[in-house]
Amino acid sequence: MLVVAVALRDAAGRILMQQRSFRAEHGGLWEFPGGKVEPGESPELAAVRELEEELAVRIEPEALVPVGFASGSTGGGKGPSRPLVILLYECSCWHGEPQPHEAEAIAWHVPRAIGALSMPPLDYPLAKALCSFLARKTI
């Protein structure tokens, strides 16, 4: 399964994280916004669609900068486990004010604090990749 995640970065350098619905797998944990890539859809267009659905913000595919990825497998709670790859993008340009349409809550965090949040397992390597990416951007 291919999933996209987006690190929205505001002018102060903070990253938007969302808290998963308590009814979902990994309920209540914090994550980068995003979701599954649909058949025939590019990862970038999936990110555009998912952020509009989840946060009511519009982004352009060209504003997405690849950061890194994490791989593992689905939990298998609803059938056999399957390979899972999450692609992380950074985006600092969007239209609209983020709203938690599908999440319990949203919050802005400085990048170095993201790793201290309670997150699904694959979000930890994504957070580490993001911090490395942002450190390279400031050099």
Stretch 122-131: mean pLDDT: 98
What tens digit of pLDDT does each residue of 8-43 get? 999 999 999 999 988 888 879 999 999 999 999 999
DSSP code of 115?
Answer: T
Does residue 120 lie in a domain region?
Answer: yes
DSSP code of 95?
Answer: B
Dihedral angle, C-alpha 47, 2, 74, 15, nearest 10 °: -30
So what's the pLDDT on residue 78? 66
**Domain encompassing residue 32:** 15-137
Does residue 32 lie in a domain region?
Answer: yes
Does residue 85 lie in a domain region?
Answer: yes
So what's the pLDDT on residue 86? 98
State how many domains the chain has: 1
Contact (CB, 8 A) for 13 and 92: no
Does residue 7 lie in a domain region?
Answer: no
Q: Is 71 exposed, middle or buried (0-12, 13-18, 19+ CB in 10 A)?
A: exposed
CATH for 51: 3.90.79.10
